[in-house]
Amino acid sequence: MDNLNKSFQSPPWGDSGSFLSVKDAGNIDDLIKLALHYKQNPFAHQALGKGKRMGLLFLNPSMRTRLSTQIAAQNLGMEVIVFNASQDGWSLEFEDGAVMNGTTAEHVKDAAPILGNYFDILGVRTFPSLKNRDEDYAEKIINQFVKYANIPVVSLESATVHPLQSLTDIITISEHLPLKDKTKPKVVLIWAPHVKPLPQCVANSFAEWMNEWNQAEFVIAHPEGYELDKRFIRDALITHDPVKALNDADFVYVKNWSSYADYGKIIPVENDWMLTTEKLSVTNDAKVMHCLPVRRNIELSDEILDSSNSIVTEQAGNRVWAAQSVLSNILNGLT
Amino acid sequence: MDNLNKSFQSPPWGDSGSFLSVKDAGNIDDLIKLALHYKQNPFAHQALGKGKRMGLLFLNPSMRTRLSTQIAAQNLGMEVIVFNASQDGWSLEFEDGAVMNGTTAEHVKDAAPILGNYFDILGVRTFPSLKNRDEDYAEKIINQFVKYANIPVVSLESATVHPLQSLTDIITISEHLPLKDKTKPKVVLIWAPHVKPLPQCVANSFAEWMNEWNQAEFVIAHPEGYELDKRFIRDALITHDPVKALNDADFVYVKNWSSYADYGKIIPVENDWMLTTEKLSVTNDAKVMHCLPVRRNIELSDEILDSSNSIVTEQAGNRVWAAQSVLSNILNGLT
Amino acid sequence: MDNLNKSFQSPPWGDSGSFLSVKDAGNIDDLIKLALHYKQNPFAHQALGKGKRMGLLFLNPSMRTRLSTQIAAQNLGMEVIVFNASQDGWSLEFEDGAVMNGTTAEHVKDAAPILGNYFDILGVRTFPSLKNRDEDYAEKIINQFVKYANIPVVSLESATVHPLQSLTDIITISEHLPLKDKTKPKVVLIWAPHVKPLPQCVANSFAEWMNEWNQAEFVIAHPEGYELDKRFIRDALITHDPVKALNDADFVYVKNWSSYADYGKIIPVENDWMLTTEKLSVTNDAKVMHCLPVRRNIELSDEILDSSNSIVTEQAGNRVWAAQSVLSNILNGLT
């Protein structure tokens, strides 16, 4: 273990050692620094995870998150086992006191302790119902894994946040800093249309991390009816005027989300919020970000995605280093 | 290879090197001893499986069995590849002489030899039809893998038995021995309700292992109509009276199974056979076991599962060491 | 790296380092020689792939191809991650300029670069539509992975060819050479019935490789209406008379394919083209090959498959060494 890594092994890293949101992140700049260290030296700490095993449980399917986390864990020397709940015919019960005479085959109270027994770290991907806002925003599901697994749990996206994505996003922004002509970049999170109702996770989480990081002028633009939960956006600047938001922006993060107020619904929008090259012209030649997968010519035009303004591939690539940085800290906290 | 391990490399370990039931187990106490050695030292024999590869073929999905066997094999240094027949779009034919103009895409006679070619050890999970008792009890499916694969086959549960589970169960019991006030523990296998017709595997297999181990007073309690095959239970004490069975019990193994006589059916039962704290009161503060997944408040009450009487998590955790003990013996038998 | 392996690191190995057809194979005899070297010494070059990662993306499910490629890559020291597009709920768009308001969730233009970012080598299994011949024969899908992934792509079967299978087939033939009484073996590719319309891949590819290898008397036999694309068969001898084709044959490769002319259709056939022991009697005690899975008693009789004439298991086993030989060359081409 070299000094670089040791320096990150500092409290607070969550009491449970889990990583569920920015609250468990400790010093964000330290996480970024370690991530960029791994980007240069993927196998720098391959002894750290030797003999340790990580389980990746997907209650909802995933491609980028699965691959990047698996690679990050392997880079640290861990063995990784992936299992998809639905594919493995494994439907979990989360209600306390349930009389299990229906379709759920196992209670999380029984399943999670065993995962905690088999693994050293557990990654869990859940998803909001988009029906019951109170339950979703209480993070009922992932919190039960934390409660019963008795090992560090890493969120691979939960009902309301996606912290590994947000760390990735800030790493990606920071790689393009400092700007020549500004001390603080202007970063715009802008809503875009989609064909399906999507969670608010990525937007909530990005807002929360941007606020905590606090090294940018942060603006959120969305149509009326798409207001996000105040607990995440805090005092970020909100506008319904995309032109005003985009003006002189250095980074534009495009993302759809469904309504929080009319929970989980797609509310009709008058203007076309798809980002195009024309709209981008008022920015400071902004870098365009998206967490992917992206619906081309719905959320973002081909023209932008195929241009040099787009940094979405670089951003997705950084998923590995964000995960590796977080897992490294968790491993340092074990034993 | 140290002496501990060498001592288990003794015949008989099945002629084929396969592990399909207690008949292939050799000395059970030796298996337990090795399992508990691995529980303390998971990586004690990591060189043993180096360069060896295990395939885990699931004709029916699995969570605990898949994870524990995969971990056990990795602990021994093996590489493991898991494949789920149904998910990988691979439906096998088991009828000899079949004209394959239907939905089955490949005959086990062609598939198994190739698995034998690719792997050093093959784990197979099958399941009973619960329709054709003769075919199920002839273990038609797993026996064809043994016949055609030409490498050691490990049962990950077959149509009638679940030997790795049973070894786990006895390991778990033995960890709580000796009792203060008895020379032999009283072990009760007790039937419980379920919403679906389940195989007799776990019950058959536990009975068979308990009889072979022969270090407990063994009682089986079930409602009328749920009699098990005599070949497995032999001269175990059978009762239809749960109170009598539970009286002074030290270990209570709760499990549902469907009828053997009226094969694969759920036969209506008058009394409530769900195990509760009240019913448990006549035991000797018994440890409660279940192979999981368990239907809470159908098979077992929340109250019991959440109490210190329940050792189901510990039991599931032992799945790893049972598998590792068996795989270790098989590896020692490979040249 | 020993000399044996170094000698294969010679151009041309495709400009992209990809392996999509015989055109990327370089010297076939060198590939065979290396494959047979690995068959004797699976771990000979385990340092070659250390720290390298291979992704295996299946747009269509696979058993043999998945297992053999995974094993081959692991034998070379690589880490392998398998992902099944459909099971992981990941449906890709391949149309340029598509307005993605339908069921496809991600464009290959966005997905492939990220796979290229995560992996060092990408294996891709696609499948023909069997509806649009022009698109299938333009290899629209796999070519987009090559175009956008920016790393070597290995075909695990594409719309029109199956090069790892064909290399396997030639390795298998060459293991039985030289014949006692002939300088060149007679190799017959013979059409067989099937219950479903199958791609022309295996037949196209085998023809292409046999032509390029050019060390056999090569004959293709099929009913009228099952003519293959001239680009693959070139000047191979074609006959509609199975007896004439089989006469004095040394190797008989049995395979179904759907019509190329009436694209993707099953055209009714008058005579029974299932290969039987009786039909085989006119051969020179020929070895019978099939890429598997095989429909018993539809394509080939039980009698043949269970006889010593069948070398299908040996052939399937060679899938590992063919893949390992190809991957070894690609790894040597990486810096």
Q: What is the pLDDT of residues A209-247, one digit of tens each?
A: 999 999 999 999 999 999 999 999 999 999 999 999 999
Same domain flag for B303 and B323: no
Instruction: Spell out the alpha helix ranges (H) of chain C.
Output: 3-6, 28-40, 64-75, 108-118, 133-137, 140-149, 163-175, 201-213, 230-233, 242-246, 277-280, 302-305, 312-333
How much is the pLDDT for C198? 97
Nearest one of A115, A81, A73 to A331, comparing CA atoms = A73
Collect all residues of chain A within an 8 Å Cβ-Cβ radius of residue C91: none
Q: Hey, of B156, B313, B324, which one would you mutate to test binding to chain A, going by the most A CBs within 10 A of its CB?
A: B313
ipTM of the complex: 0.94
Q: Provide the shortest C-alpha distance from residue C101 to chain A (in Å).
A: 6
Distance CA B298, CA B274 (A): 6
Q: Is residue B157 part of a domain?
A: yes
pLDDT tens column, B29-53: 999 999 999 999 999 999 999 999 9
* CA distances for C269 relative to A162, C254, C264, angstroms: 58, 16, 15
Q: Which residue has the higher pLDDT, A78 or A5?
A: A78
Amino acid at B190: I
Q: Which residue has the higher pLDDT, B37 or C87?
A: B37
Distance CA C35, CA B193 (A): 57
Same domain flag for B74 and B51: yes
Residue A181 has pLDDT above 70, yes or no: yes
Q: Is residue C168 part of a domain?
A: no
Distance CA C251, CA A198 (A): 57
Q: pLDDT band for position C8 (50/70/90)?
A: very low
pLDDT tens column, A266-321: 999 988 999 999 999 999 999 999 999 999 999 999 999 999 999 999 999 999 99
Domain CATH number, residue A14: 3.40.50.1370
How much is the pLDDT for A3? 45
Collect all residues of chain B within an 8 Å Cβ-Cβ radius of residue C302: 97
How much is the pLDDT for B181? 87
Name the strand (E) or helix (H) holding A28. helix A28-40
CB-CB under 8 Å, B93 with C296: yes
Place of tokens 């796979």: C115
Same domain flag for C21 and C140: yes
Residue C90 has pLDDT above 80, yes or no: no
Q: At what angle do helices C163-175 and C201-213 cross, to 10 degrees?
A: 50
Q: Is residue C170 part of a domain?
A: no
* Percentage of residues of chain C with pLDDT beyond 90: 88
Distance CA C19, CA C52 (A): 17
Q: Provide the shortest C-alpha distance from residue B118 to chain C (in Å).
A: 7
Average pLDDT over chain B reads 93
Residue B89 has pLDDT above 80, yes or no: no
Q: pLDDT band for position A22 (50/70/90)?
A: very high
Distance CA C87, CA C73 (A): 23
Same domain flag for C9 and C153: yes
Residue A61, φ and ψ in degrees, nearest 5: -70, 160
Same domain flag for B324 and B301: no
Same domain flag for B125 and B21: yes
pLDDT tens column, A126-161: 999 999 999 999 999 999 999 999 999 999 999 999
Q: Is A214 left (phi over 0), alpha (psi -120 to 50) or beta?
A: left
How much is the pLDDT for C118? 98
Same domain flag for B39 and B152: yes
- Count other C-beta atoms under 10 Å from residue B278's C-beta: 10
Q: Please give the full DSSP string across A92-128, using - where no structure is assigned.
A: EE-STT----SS--EEHHHHHHHHHHH-SEEEEE---
Q: Is residue A171 part of a domain?
A: no
* CA distances for A312 relative to A143, A253, B306, angstroms: 31, 10, 47
- Domain region containing A85: 3-161+319-333
How much is the pLDDT for A14? 54
Collect all residues of chain A within an 8 Å Cβ-Cβ radius of residue B66: 83, 88
How much is the pLDDT for B85? 82
Using an 8 Å CB-CB cutoff, list residues of chain C that contact chain A. Answer: 51, 53, 55, 79, 81, 83, 87-90, 93, 97-102, 105-107, 109-111, 113-114, 117-118
pLDDT tens column, B160-206: 999 999 999 999 999 999 999 899 999 999 999 999 999 999 999 99
Inter-residue contact C145 to C80 (CB < 8 Å): no
Using CA coordinates, name the residue in chain A closest to C92.
A293
How much is the pLDDT for C1? 39
Q: Provide the shortest C-alpha distance from residue B109 to chain C (in Å).
A: 9
Same domain flag for A92 and A54: yes
Q: Which of A68, A295, A302 is facing C97, going by the closest CB pair?
A: A302
Q: pLDDT band for position A261 (50/70/90)?
A: very high
Q: What is the domain count for chain B?
A: 2
Inter-residue contact B163 to B153 (CB < 8 Å): no
CB-CB under 8 Å, C110 with A61: no
Q: pLDDT band for position B90 (50/70/90)?
A: confident
CB-CB under 8 Å, A106 with B294: yes
A/B interface, count of CB pairs below 8 Å: 74
CB-CB under 8 Å, B97 with C305: no
How much is the pLDDT for B62? 86
Q: Which of B66, B71, B305 is facing A53, going by the closest CB pair?
A: B71
Q: Which residue has the higher pLDDT, A3 or B17?
A: B17
What b/e sequence results for B67-103 when a residue is b if at least 16 CB atoms lie within 10 Å of its CB, and e otherwise?
A: bbbbbbbbbbbbbbbbbbbebbbbebbbeeebebeee
Output the pTM of the full model: 0.95
How much is the pLDDT for B84? 85
How much is the pLDDT for B60? 86
- Count other C-beta atoms under 10 Å from residue C310's C-beta: 20
* Percentage of residues of chain B with pLDDT beyond 70: 94
How much is the pLDDT for C89? 63
CB-CB under 8 Å, C88 with A293: no
Q: Is residue B137 part of a domain?
A: yes
Same domain flag for B211 and B128: no
Collect all residues of chain C within an 8 Å Cβ-Cβ radius of residue A324: none
- What is residue C258's three-state secondary structure? coil
Residue C220 has pLDDT above 90, yes or no: yes
Distance CA A300, CA A107 (A): 41
Beta bridge partners of A81: A55
Q: Give the mean pLDDT of C5-22.
A: 65
Q: Which of A62, A71, A195 is facing C118, going by the closest CB pair?
A: A71
pLDDT tens column, C258-309: 999 999 999 999 889 999 999 999 999 999 999 999 999 999 999 999 999 9
Radius of gyration of chain A (CA): 20
pLDDT tens column, C31-66: 999 999 999 999 999 999 999 999 999 998 888 999
Average pLDDT over chain C reads 93
Inter-residue contact B37 to B181 (CB < 8 Å): no
Residue B1 has pLDDT above 50, yes or no: no
Name the strand (E) or helix (H) holding C255. strand C251-255
Distance CA C243, CA C221 (A): 9
Same domain flag for C154 and C198: no
Q: Give the mean pLDDT of B281-303.
A: 97
Q: DSSP letter at C85?
A: T
Q: pLDDT band for position C187 (50/70/90)?
A: very high
Using CA coordinates, name the residue in chain A closest to C89.
A61
CB-CB under 8 Å, B298 with A118: no
Distance CA A202, CA A293 (A): 12
Q: DSSP letter at A235?
A: T
Beta bridge partners of B186: B217
CB-CB under 8 Å, A87 with C81: no
What b/e sequence results for B2-37 when a residue is b if at least 16 CB atoms lie within 10 Å of its CB, and e otherwise?
A: eeebeebeeeebbebbbbbbbebbbebebbbbbbbb
Q: DSSP letter at C196?
A: S
* Percentage of residues of chain C with pLDDT beyond 70: 94
Distance CA C306, CA C300 (A): 10
Q: Is residue B166 part of a domain?
A: no
Q: Which tokens is C306 given?
A: 């269970």
- Three-state SS string over chain B comes to CCHHHHCCCCCCCCCCCCECCHHHCCCHHHHHHHHHHHHHCCCCCCCCCCCCEEEEEECCCCCHHHHHHHHHHHHCCCEEEEEECCCCCCCEECCCCCCCCCCCCEEHHHHHHHHHHHCCEEEEECCCCCCCHHHHHCCHHHHHHHHHHCCCEEECCCCCCCHHHHHHHHHHHHHCCCCCCCCCCEEEEEECCCCCCCCCHHHHHHHHHHHHHCCCEEEEECCCCCCCCHHHHCCCEEECCHHHHHCCCCEEEEECCCCCCCCCCCCCCCCCCCECHHHHCCCCCCEEECCCCCCECCCECHHHHCCCCECHHHHHHHHHHHHHHHHHHHHHHCC
Q: Hey, of A117, A121, A147, A148, which one would you mutate to test binding to chain B, going by the most B CBs within 10 A of its CB?
A: A117
Longest dimension (CA), chain B: 64
- Chains near C with 3+ CB pairs less than 8 A apart are A, B
Beta bridge partners of A107: A93
Q: Give the mean pLDDT of B130-156.
A: 96
How much is the pLDDT for A120? 97
Q: Hey, of A56, A313, A318, A324, which one would you mutate to test binding to chain C, going by the most C CBs within 10 A of its CB?
A: A313
Q: Is residue A166 part of a domain?
A: no
Same domain flag for C274 and C295: yes
Q: pLDDT band for position A259 (50/70/90)?
A: very high
Q: DSSP letter at A244?
A: H
Q: Please give the full DSSP string across A306-329, using - where no structure is assigned.
A: TSTTB-HHHHHHTHHHHHHHHHHH
What b/e sequence results for C162-174 when a residue is b if at least 16 CB atoms lie within 10 Å of its CB, and e otherwise?
A: bbbbbbbbbbbbb
Using CA coordinates, name the residue in chain B closest to C87.
B87
Collect all residues of chain B within an 8 Å Cβ-Cβ radius of residue C316: 114, 117
How much is the pLDDT for A88? 62
Q: In what order do the strands lie in the sheet with B186-191?
A: B237-239, B217-221, B186-191, B251-255, B287-289
- What is residue C161's three-state secondary structure? coil
Q: Which of C43, C68, C316 is facing B51, going by the closest CB pair?
A: C43
- What is residue C133's three-state secondary structure? helix
Q: Is residue A172 part of a domain?
A: no
Same domain flag for C226 and C117: no
Q: Which residue has the higher pLDDT, C4 or C189?
A: C189
Q: Is B51 left (phi over 0), alpha (psi -120 to 50) or beta?
A: left
Place of tokens 């299992």: A83
